[in-house]
Structure 1
Amino acid sequence: MKWRCKVCGYIHEGDRPPLECPLCGVGPDEFEQVDEPAPKAITAKRWKCVVCDYIHTGDNPPDVCPLCGVGPDKFVLLEDVQRATLTAETISDTTEGTIRSALDKVSYGLYILTSHKGDAINGQCINTAFQLTDQPLRLAVSLNKSNLTHEYVIDSGVFAISILSADDVEMVRRFGYKSGRVVDKFDGVEYVVGKTGSPILKESLAFLECEILRDKIVDVGTHTLFVADVINGRVLRDVSCLTYEYYRSCKNK
């Protein structure tokens, strides 16, 4: 609660007014409670790209997805977040928006996946990377077929994952919003070439290097699922990793 001194205007925060105003010296009887405004309701709509999962906030979907370039017809309106009681009706009365809103609650990290084609290097932001088995160490990643990095992984059969920290939001913007066909994403970014020949971001939290299993490549529609053996890796900094939920909360700041 907030309390205002009626004599000098000093504001005190606490469950009760102070015994003495630190500015003018009057007692608690000279303080009045200040009404705090109710939080404003969030009315902005959230639209999700069904191709790359980009989230757009606004009254209408964007004309062009900044990640994959599709038009507004590929965006679906997410359901407003609200508490609902689980009943037979709420189970049956669903839409694509309610389903995708639920999928947004699946925990994701954000990573920079890099690869090479000969001497050329490229990288992109991904959120689909997860461990499959412990013996052998094996993970899976999903890449959009239209992305340049997808082409490089198919050609070289290898990739590296730079795991980002919570203060690496700018790396998501650099590697996730434009294609490597039109910009050099590594311009001004420090990196080290790994054992696979793939670049690893020097300021990453941790890294992994992988070799794909060509007999386990899966076509999943717009994307390809790559299963890969982990052949190298190390933690570089002991800090919190960047999550997709945290990125969405601050991407417009």
Structure 2
Amino acid sequence: MNKWRCSVCGYIHEGKELPEKCPICGVGPEEFTVEIETPALKQAGKRWKCTVCDYVHTGDMPPDKCPVCGVGSELFVLLLDEVLELTTEAVLAAGLDTANSAVDKISYGLYIITSVKDNKFNGQCCNTLLQLTSNPLRVSVCLNKNNLTHEYLMDSGVFAVSMLTTSQSEAVSRFGYQSGRTTDKFAGVEYISGKNGCPILKNCLAYIEASVLPDKIVDVGTHTLFVADVTAGRMVANQEALTYSFYRSIK
């Protein structure tokens, strides 16, 4: 049995086949990607990644067409599990098709991004937080346009980031795999309102508050990139930070 992840809201569907639509945000099967493959599939052969939707196929050859987005086999790239000898010839032969497997190795943290609108607040799990400069202390975050937190952030221009520890994987499921349009994600969660009104998880590793720079909001397609100045923050616990790689290893 596979686990399929909705790329819009993060909902996880378990089953051999894709769902007809996401029960949380309503998008079709083309917005789902394989989240976790069964051990039997992992041992079956090579792994091929669709460069359009990120679907991963296991087998000696790529599929004739992607079962998720329908593109042909020419848009699949081989994900290398073995060590490649890096030579001048290998560098000259590299291109966008081979870059996809390299991008998969970029390291990410997992964070809870929260924002406010009309005295209401929402939060989502995010792995696209990045420090840009130290003086001024400036960060960026990239959010899917379909997410409720994106709507709140566009309206208020402020957000808070709760950084997670390795013992807080349940927060990823709570804030990442369901929509704030249908679920109160903060029900039963201890939090404190920050100076900018955004909720901060009380037992987080650390937190920052930030104010978006209106002239540095960038449309990047399915997502919006927000550049923001950090206005406050504090370390809370001396523990290991939760990374995306660690989270996947324990799921």
Work out whether 1:187 is the aligned partner of 2:209: no
1:50-70 CA-to-partner distances (Å, cap 9, x unmatched) read x56979899977436788745
Runs of 4+ aligned structure 1 residues displaced above 4 Å come to 44-49, 51-61, 64-70, 93-96
Contact 1:148 1:181 in 2 (8 A): yes
User: 1:172-211 alignment to 2 at 5 Å?
Assistant: 172-211=172-211
The partner residue of 1:77 within 56, 72, 76 is 56
Please say which structure displays the higher CA radius of gyration: 1
The verdict on how the C-alpha distance between 1:194 and 1:223 changes in structure 2, with shifts beyond 3 A counting, is same
Between 53-62 and 170-179, the greater mean CA deviation after superposition = 53-62
Name the CA distance, whole Å, in 1 between partners of 2:104 and 2:11: 10
- The corresponding residue for 1:105 is 105
Name the CA distance, whole Å, in 2 between partners of 1:91 and 1:249: 34
User: 1:11-30 alignment to 2 at 5 Å?
Assistant: none
Structure 1 position 82, deviation (Å): 2.2
Name the CA distance, whole Å, in 2 between partners of 1:123 and 1:66: 19
Helix, strand or coil for the counterpart of 2:245? helix
The two structures, once aligned, show a CA RMSD in angstroms of 3.2
Helix, strand or coil for the counterpart of 2:100? helix
User: 1:1-253 alignment to 2 at 5 Å?
Assistant: 51=7, 62-63=18-19, 69-72=27-30, 74-77=53-56, 79=79, 81-87=81-87, 88=89, 92=93, 98-251=98-251
Greater strand content:
2
Structure 1 position 127, deviation (Å): 0.3
Query: With structure 1 as the length reference, what TM-score do the two structures score?
Result: 0.71
Helix, strand or coil for the counterpart of 1:213? strand
Contact 2:9 2:24 in 1 (8 A): no
Name the CA distance, whole Å, in 2 between partners of 1:55 and 1:61: 15
Name the CA distance, whole Å, in 1 between partners of 2:92 and 2:149: 39
Between 136-145 and 70-79, the greater mean CA deviation after superposition = 70-79
Between 129-138 and 100-109, the greater mean CA deviation after superposition = 100-109
Structure 1 position 77, deviation (Å): 1.7
Q: List alignment gaps of at least 5 residues for structure 2.
A: 32-52, 58-78
Name the CA distance, whole Å, in 2 between partners of 1:152 and 1:77: 33
The one-letter amino acid of 2:198's match is: S
